[in-house]
């Protein structure tokens, strides 16, 4: 994997459903993995930053895991709500510690 790849590209779920997305990234020169939430007409906002293999982070109904050896991260949303509708961005940070590469994002729509 040369780039940061996210799947699926878009997702429609019903309110109350739980869902998850995948981020795949090059495992070489890995430094950190960021997740951002980006609502339409707003700026991206940080959800998590993870650095160690096996890291798990949680914020309310949203959680994320990290596997640096195989180069993937999962983002989970439990009991989706309409206000969770947004694009979720995965960002890989290289060993240099300054340069970040963004995935294309997963666009989530939660229908009431």
* Residues 32-71, mask of contacts with another protein (x by CB under 8 A): x-x-x-----xxxxx--x-x--------------------
Q: Does 105 bind another protein (CB under 8 A)?
A: yes
Tell me if 11 contacts another protein by CB under 8 A.
no
CB nearer to another protein: pick between 9 and 81: 9
In whole angstroms, what is the distance from residue 81 CA to residue 25 CA? Answer: 28
User: 13 vs 49, which CB is nearer to another protein?
Assistant: 49
Q: Which is nearer to another protein, 15 or 45 (CB)?
A: 45
Q: What burial letters (b/e) apply to 53-73, b meaning 16+ CB within 10 Å?
A: eebebeeeebbbbbebeebbb
Report residue 18 as tokens: 């739980």
Residues at the interface with another protein (CB under 8 A) = 31-32, 34, 36, 42-46, 49, 51, 89, 93, 97-105
């Amino acid at each position: 994997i040369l780039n940061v790849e996210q799947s699926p590209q878009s997702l429609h779920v019903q309110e109350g459903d739980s869902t998850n997305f995948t981020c795949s990234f090059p495992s070489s020169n890995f430094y950190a993995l960021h997740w951002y939430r980006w609502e339409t007409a707003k700026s991206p906002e940080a959800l998590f930053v993870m650095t160690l293999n096996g890291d798990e982070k949680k914020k309310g109904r949203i959680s994320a895991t990290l596997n640096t050896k195989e180069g993937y991260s999962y983002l989970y949303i439990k009991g989706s709500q309409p206000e969770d509708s947004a694009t979720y961005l995965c960002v890989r940070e290289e060993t240099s510690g300054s340069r970040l590469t963004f995935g294309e994002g997963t666009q989530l729509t939660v229908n009431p």
